């Protein structure tokens, strides 16, 4: 297989279903060798019957499993409001394996995607570790190096939901969602970056790429998803810092805010997410993957620290916080003066985007 990623080795987390699966297949179709990470957990992070975390029999005290394609839709469809899980929030869940679990057989989502890639003539291996643990993230990078001798691209995609209005949002559900999305981005990024930095210092500067997954909820907020919105906003901040810090080592870091049909969104927004009988299927997750593949390839040289929204056939460069109207008195104001100035500036400012679901 040949394409814009020929010769590259790509890791995709949460790649057993949804967007992660679409990304893994798209990279393979463009010639990449792919490490497919997934734990096979449900929408709320609890392992399903096909999860390596269950079938391996291993246990750890590290918290809920996180490498799930369930949340590979990273948030609300741009035109349809927030993505949310329809079931009840759950406790932080049982203990899980933090390293690469034993393969769970053909029914396991990671192994199923690997089988699809191989059937199409590509190369792939499965990884069943919990990437929100040190051991799991370290073994994820090691899986690429052990199988293929290199790592070129990391796509952070794993996640799940625990939706609640703020006054009903428990600490366990807050921690679980922050762990899967934010820590589950940070740890693989840190271990991959450490490898690439070592390569650069040894005189082998990589053409390395990281694609993080944020959300419209992280850009604008989403009612009933305070934990998810905060985590996805944090991923944008992490992306900007990583892009600035890691550029000297040949590493580019960008983020996407996709909208697509996944296990999360097709249940919460059935009508909007349903595939049409004829014509273009705007909500197919495969629509998002071409941008991810390009960002993960050498062809994206010079593009770093950017956030892209992707839905259907539309790609949008998102422009973050920029200074708006300002006033400088040159001296300290009284509270009343500060309020008067703030109101005047707000009258001149553009209205903020609406929070999803508000």
Q: Could you list the active site residues? A: 215, 228, 232
φ/ψ of 60, rounded to 5, equals: -150, 160
CB-based contact 63:93 (threshold 8 Å): yes
Two tokens, residue 172: 């366990």
d(CA 275, CA 53): 32
Helix 18-29 vs helix 109-119: crossing angle, to nearest 10: 20
Cα 167–169–170 angle (5° rounding)? 120
Detail the DSSP E strand segments found in the chain. 9-12, 33-37, 123-127, 153-155, 208-213, 251-259, 307-311, 314-318
- Dig out the tokens for 232 from the structure: 């996805």
| 225 touches 358 (CB < 8 A) | no
CB contact at 8 A, 251 and 317: no
CB-based contact 141:188 (threshold 8 Å): yes
β-sheet bridge partners, residue 154: 11, 210
User: What does the block give as tokens for 326?
Assistant: 């300002």
Tokens of residue 67, six digits: 């490498």
Residue 288 in contact with residue 255, Cβ under 8 Å?
no
Cβ-Cβ contacts under 8 Å for 147 (sequence gap 6 or more): 9, 33, 35, 125
Tokens representing 156 are 């952070």
- Burial level of 200, CB count in 10 A (0-12/13-18/19+)? middle
* Residues 32/115, Cβ–Cβ less than 8 Å: no
- 192, 252 Cβ separation under 8 angstroms: no
């Amino acid at each position: 297989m040949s394409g814009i990623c020929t010769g590259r080795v790509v890791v995709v987390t949460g790649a057993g279903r949804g967007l992660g699966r679409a990304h893994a297949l798209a990279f393979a179709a463009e010639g990449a060798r792919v490490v497919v990470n997934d734990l096979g957990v449900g929408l709320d992070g609890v392992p399903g019957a096909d999860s390596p975390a269950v079938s391996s029999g291993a246990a750890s005290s590290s918290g809920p499993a996180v490498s799930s394609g369930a949340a590979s839709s990273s948030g609300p469809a741009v035109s349809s409001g927030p993505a949310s899980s329809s079931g009840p929030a759950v406790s932080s869940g049982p203990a899980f394996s933090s390293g690469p679990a034993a393969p769970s057989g053909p029914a396991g989502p990671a192994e199923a995607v690997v089988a699809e890639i191989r059937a199409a003539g590509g190369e792939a291996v499965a990884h069943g570790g919990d990437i929100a643990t040190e051991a799991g993230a370290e073994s994820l990078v090691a899986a690429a190096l052990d199988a293929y001798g290199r790592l070129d691209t990391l796509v952070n995609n794993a996640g799940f939901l625990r939706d609640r209005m703020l006054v009903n949002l428990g600490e366990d559900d807050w921690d679980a969602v922050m762990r899967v999305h934010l820590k589950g981005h940070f740890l693989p990024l840190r271990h991959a970056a450490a490898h690439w930095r070592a390569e650069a210092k040894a005189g082998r500067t990589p053409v390395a790429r990281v694609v993080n997954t944020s959300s419209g909820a992280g850009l604008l907020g989403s009612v009933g998803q305070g934990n998810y919105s905060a985590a996805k906003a944090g991923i944008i901040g992490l992306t900007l810092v990583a892009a600035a810090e890691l550029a000297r080592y040949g590493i580019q870091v960008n983020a996407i805010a996709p909208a697509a049909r996944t296990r999360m969104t097709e249940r919460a927004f059935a009508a909007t997410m349903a595939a049409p009988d004829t014509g273009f299927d705007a909500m197919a997750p495969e629509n998002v993957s071409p941008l991810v593949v390009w960002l993960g390839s050498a062809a994206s040289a010079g593009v770093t620290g950017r956030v892209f929204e992707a839905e259907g056939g539309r790609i949008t460069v998102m422009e973050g916080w920029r200074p708006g109207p300002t006033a400088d008195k040159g001296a300290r104001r009284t509270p009343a003066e500060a309020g008067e100035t703030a109101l005047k500036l707000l009258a001149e400012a553009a209205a903020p985007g609406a929070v999803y679901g508000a």
